[in-house]
Structure 1
Amino acid sequence: MSESARADARQRDEASEASGAASAPPTAASFAELGLPAELLRALDEHGVTVPFPIQAAALPNALAGRDVLGRGRTGSGKTLAFGLGMLARTAGRRAQPKEPLALVLVPTRELAQQIGEALTPYVEALRLRLATVVGGVSIGRQAAVLRDGAEIVVATPGRLHDLIESKGCRLGRVRIAVLDEADQMCDMGFLPQVTELLDQVRPDGQRMLFSATLDRDVDELVQRYLRDPAVHSVDPSSSAVSAIEHHVFVVHGPDRYAVTTEIAARDGRVLLFLDTKHGVDQLTRHLRASGVAAAALHSGKSQPQRTRTLAQFKNGQVTALVATNVAARGLHIDDLDLVVNVDPATDPKDYLHRAGRTARAGRSGTVVTLVLSGQRRETSQVMTDADVAPTVTKVRSGEAELSRITGARTPSGKLLDGGPSVPRPKNHNAPFRGLGSTKDTQGGAGGRPSRKSSEARKLAEARKAARVRRGG
């Protein structure tokens, strides 16, 4: 799209927003005022969901009326029920034919698809509907079998749904409600051709709802091509969730970076740590487990069963430190997660805000910490400015009281969790942390080239080798 075309699209979108805001029905103060089916109201009450979030109160009247909806903003504001309840209420009482769903939700990642499926399941069951989650990394045969049995609602990633359609396992001609969630990320990940191909197959007279953090470039094309006079709502939680987040930048000395990260990860409570590469994630995870921290890795190089199991363990507390690439930056909802650490600073303001959005969800508070070396301060400061964030900047070293006060950092036990002898905790004069690969992780992309082993990694390998010799292995 040319620059002038993008400008025209933005002007049309602004005009649509103005008309949408003017004609939107009044918002509701409770779910009972929205005209939802009694079965949904009972299910909401049973799960303690009684007062709608602002986006739900604003968007549900439009969704229930069958109007197209355009939502802007970051995750964590209650979008799933905003589109989900309306979609389910309008599908209630209908029955899908084999392989022919009636409603479709497209999302960029497996984790987000599974999370939406889990969030909607109680309400799907209350209405006696059937839901299928269609994602890569698991058996396509089992998913095809579920669709053959009939599913009114399908939550899918574009690639796997495309494969099922190609193999005659699914048809979209009866889909009358189509939702795109995190549309900007789908475009960033190269899914735009598949998304348009899928949307071209659904009923042309159906309802469409699109949610995205930004509406630039390819997302503009989706809005202009598929949404008709949409009701526009802001789902940006900047006035609530973001204000409940404390943003910190820790300036660390290179050789001390490993120790600072380890002490933060050893805190009493869960923490989500972001790195740029799969190799960096794996190396830091090994080090943390060797130091006595219940850490686990999450990135696109893991199988879907591994990723699902790791997230379940993080949610139930078996894993206290989740080390991840940006695959965990969207669509990951963990109750009471109050600390996110950017071990590798985000280089894009959208990435920073989505990482930060894993905490302070559903009205709670949280802290986001970014570790930077002196040479990274200027670039990180610009990212923060672009993200409209004003962090507190502090120089820290491992073992300092200020580090513990902000993050709860403490000395790790040093007990190796994976068997074998424990290894000494790294001292401040050790070599700098070199767990950062050279290629950023993408969904299904290749990992970074391994960097030179640190002295600690060599010590760990030698200790494990000695343990095997003693066991006769």
Structure 2
Amino acid sequence: MAARRPFTQATNTSTSASSSNGPSSNGRPRRRKPAAKKPTGNVAQSNSSVTATEYESVIPMDVPDDLTFADLGVPAALADALAATGVTKPFPIQAATLPDSLAGKDVLGRGRTGSGKTYAFVLPLLARLYLRGNKRQPKSPRALILAPTRELATQIQASIQPLADVLELRTMTIFGGVGHGPQTTGLRKGVDIVVACPGRLEDHLKAGNLRLDAVEITILDEADHMADLGFLPAVRRILEATPVKAQRLLFSATLDAGVDVLVKRFMNNPITHSVDSAQSPVSKMTHHVLHVKADSRVPVLVDLTAAPGRTLVFTRTKYGAKSLTKKLIASGVPAVELHGNLSQGARTRNLEAFSAGTAKTLVATDIAARGIHVDDITLVIHADPPVEHKAYLHRSGRTARAGAEGTVITLMTDDQVRDVRDLTRKAGIAPKTTKLSIGDPLLAELAPGERVFVEPPAKAPVVATTSTPGRGRGRSRGAGGGSGRSGAGSTRTATGSTSPRSAGGSTKTRTVASSTATRPGDSPSASRGGRRRRGPRKQAA
């Protein structure tokens, strides 16, 4: 049998009614005409209308050991910059898509999570801007990458930055949760590449801080998610603001018919590359379902997360992530949370703590399911099973990345049995299901190593406040006899300091308050004018 070629250069084809390559009435891809040779390597199709059936037409591809980025057409300067970062051999998704994307064609690319999709679209973008050499203009970026979350935008920026610096290209991120000012300043100075979330990018468009009429190439990462109803209106308006002839690349781990609305409207004869199925299991990823009682759920989580190594725990809701993080910390497991209710600063700090290992457990909602890449995540736990199978695949893909091993565990209670069974079936996963409770030996097998617990942090001291009346309202005396006068609407706060001391395993906290504090239980007297003031309330520091 002849050896497979590293990639297939696709030819443009049309989707006429007489074509024998389109889907048949039963939804399966029709066989090609006998005279046509079956393609080798990846599947590459060019259609004005792409269907879910065509996305499922997959032929696995192996990359020869001696294949280099230069062989695929990557400019020498960019290939050398890649080599300087330790990247020398293309992944299958890169070998499949680069010949077409570097040639300026519109491409849809699918490779499973952790397959190297970021470089697959970053490299043709950088090569295009570098070779054309157009001068950057204020407020007019030359390339645009859209991502659904701030974390993914930051991750893409981190991949681009060292390569862009070598090529003397300027790049920046735009997303919400941070001030508009620095972003506006950066756009006015001129930037080559913008990595953005749709919402904040639209804010700048409406404010006149940037234009998209100079964009040469537009990329949608996690394209299926960007085609969801929550993102779709903004994504369509943004794409409509870019030139019609601009190159467009759409990438995701789970491309399906949901992206058709974008493909038909904005892409020109797109070529589809799928190097593996959306349901292709990662060979080094093992899947387990643990059937537990509702009251055993948290103790089982504590046992698993107390083991050595990094653990990523997923919940369905922001409240669930916050609540579970508190329970883990109270049980002695260093954990941080990641969800949409946190400020951008807190999200960044928590993710950095998880990456650095100061907190070895991250409890997150699905905002961490896409784009979060932290090395050596050995365990992913679905504390709450996701609603859809695509979310399961993206969540699970945070482990066993780039050839590493990983374990995925789903906790299932009695009322979730049917949902989990349907979920794993749609995801193409056949997990091992075990009914257990805390103390089961299987927990030590799934998360081996000695369990380590730390002393939960001491609670913050109580700080009392007392308010004084505004000018013209006279003085107010507390029951303790103290009096004071201040400016209008001012508030005096007791300043305290804490000094934890450990003795015999206990922690004592000493709080020192200023003399102006009102003691708990004091009742305020009536102020001048006959109004009675409400007494002070305790506030947590």
Q: Is the 8 A contact 2:254 2:278 kept in 1?
A: no
Shift in CA distance, 411/397, structure 1 to aligned 2, threshold 3 Å: farther
Question: Helix, strand or coil for the counterpart of 2:71?
Answer: helix
Return the match for 1:13 from 44, 50, 56: 50
Amino acid at match of 1:12: S
Name the counterpart of 1:358. Answer: 398
Shift of residue 250, structure 1, vs aligned partner: 0.5
Letter in 2 for 1:203: P
Measured after TM superposition, the shift of residue 38 of structure 1 is 2.3
Aligned to 1:76: 114
Cα distance in 1, alignment partners of residues 69 and 456 from structure 2: 50
Q: 2:179 aligns with which of 116, 133, 139?
A: 139
Structure 2 contact 111–275 (Cα < 8 Å) conserved: yes
Instruction: Check 1:11–1:41 CA distance in 2 against 1; reply closer, same or farther (3 A cut).
Output: closer
Q: Secondary structure at the match of 1:83?
A: helix
Cα distance 1:414–1:86, how it changes in 2: closer, same or farther (>3 A)? closer
Aligned counterparts of 1:241 and 1:123: Cα–Cα separation in 2? 32
Question: For the Cα contact (< 8 Å) 1:71–1:212, is it kept in 2?
Answer: yes
Alignment partner of 1:43 is 2:94: no
Match of 2:386 in 1: 346
* Alignment: residue pair count: 418
Cα offset for 1:201? Answer: 1.2
Aligned-partner Cα distance in 1 for 2:188–2:372: 30
| 2:10 aligned residue | none
Quick one: distance in 2 between partners of 1:185 and 1:44? 29
1:34-433 correspondence runs (5 A): 34-92=72-130, 93-188=133-228, 190-216=230-256, 218-236=258-276, 242-408=282-448, 411-413=451-453, 415-418=455-458
Q: Which residue of 1 aligns with 2:9?
A: none
**Shift, 1:155, TM fit:** 0.6
Tell me which amino acid in the other structure corresponds to 1:90.
Answer: R
CA change 1:385–1:363 in 2 (3 A) is same
2:137 counterpart SS class:
coil
SS at match of 2:114: coil
1:350 Cα deviation from its structure 2 partner? 0.8
Q: Is contact 1:290–1:414 with CA below 8 Å preserved after alignment?
A: no
Structure 1: how far apart are the matches of 2:345 and 2:306? 26
Whole-Å separation in 2 of the counterparts to 1:413 and 1:21: 47
- Offset at 1:191? 1.3
The one-character-per-residue Cα deviations of 1:360-382 (angstroms, maximum 9, x if unpaired) are 11121211000111221121011
Aligned to 2:539: none
Query: CA separation in 1, counterparts of 2:269 and 2:58?
Result: 11
- Matches of 2:268 and 2:367, distance apart in 1: 32
TM-aligned CA deviation for residue 214 of structure 1: 4.3
**1:268 Cα deviation (Å)?**
0.8
RMSD: 2.8
Amino acid at match of 1:393: T
3-state SS of 1:371 partner: strand
Q: CA deviation at 1:335?
A: 1.1
C-alpha distance in structure 1 between counterparts of 2:512 and 2:331, whole Å: 25
With over 3 angstroms needed to count, the CA separation of the structure-2 counterparts of 1:117 and 1:149, relative to structure 1, is same
Is the Cα–Cα contact under 8 Å of residues 16 and 229 in structure 1 kept in the other structure?
A: no
Counterpart contact for 1:68–1:208, Cα < 8 Å:
yes
8 Å CA contact retained: 1:99, 1:169: yes
| CA distance in structure 2 between the aligned counterparts of 1:381 and 1:15, rounded to whole angstroms | 23
1:319-362, Cα deviation, whole Å (9 max, x unpaired): 10000111111111111112100111122111111110111111
Letter in 2 for 1:86: P
| Alpha-carbon distance in 1 for matches of 2:145, 2:458 | 40
TM-score by length of 1: 0.82
CA distance in 1, matches of 2:443, 2:267: 49
1:33 aligns with 2:71: yes
**Pair 271,294 (structure 1): closer, same or farther in 2 beyond 3 Å:** same
Q: Describe the shift of the 1:289–1:305 C-alpha distance in structure 2 as closer, same or farther (beyond 3 A).
A: same
CA 1:359/1:306 → structure 2, altered by over 3 Å: closer, same or farther? Answer: same
Q: How has the CA–CA distance of structure 1 residues 241 and 471 changed in structure 2, closer, same or farther, with 3 Å as cutoff?
A: farther
Q: Secondary structure at the match of 1:323?
A: strand
8 Å CA contact 1:294, 1:417 repeated in 2: no
Aligned to 2:523: none
The one-letter amino acid paired with 1:248 is: H
**Alpha-carbon distance, 1:71 to partner:** 1.4
Question: Distance in 2 between the 1:17 and 1:88 partners?
Answer: 29
User: Could you say what secondary structure the match of 2:200 adopts?
Assistant: helix
- Unpaired runs of 5+ in structure 2? 1-26, 28-46, 462-505, 514-541
For structure 1, the 5+ residue unaligned runs are 1-6, 422-465
Does the 8 A contact of 2:146 with 2:198 survive in 1?
yes
Deviations along 1:157-192, one digit per CA (max 9) or x if unpaired, are 111110001111010000010111112212325111
Structure 1: how far apart are the matches of 2:275 and 2:236? 24
Please tell me whether the aligned partners of residues 102 and 176 of structure 1 are also in contact (alpha carbons under 8 angstroms): yes
The share of aligned pairs that are identical, in percent, is 47
CA contact (8 A) 1:399 1:410 kept: no
- SS of structure 2 residue aligned to 1:319: coil
The offset of 1:408, in angstroms, is: 2.7
Distance 1:411-1:41 versus aligned 2 partners, 3 A rule: closer
Question: Which AA in structure 2 matches 1:13?
Answer: V
Larger helix proportion of the pair: 1
Distance 2:156 2:210 in 1: 20
Change (3 A) 1:360 1:182: same
| Structure-2 separation of matches of 1:266 and 1:420 | 25
| 1:1-58 per-position Cα deviation (integer Å, ceiling 9, x unaligned) | xxxxxx9xx993159969x999xxx999211212322221221111111100001011
Change (3 A) 1:252 1:409: farther
**CA distance in 2 between partners of 1:67 and 1:81 (Å):** 17
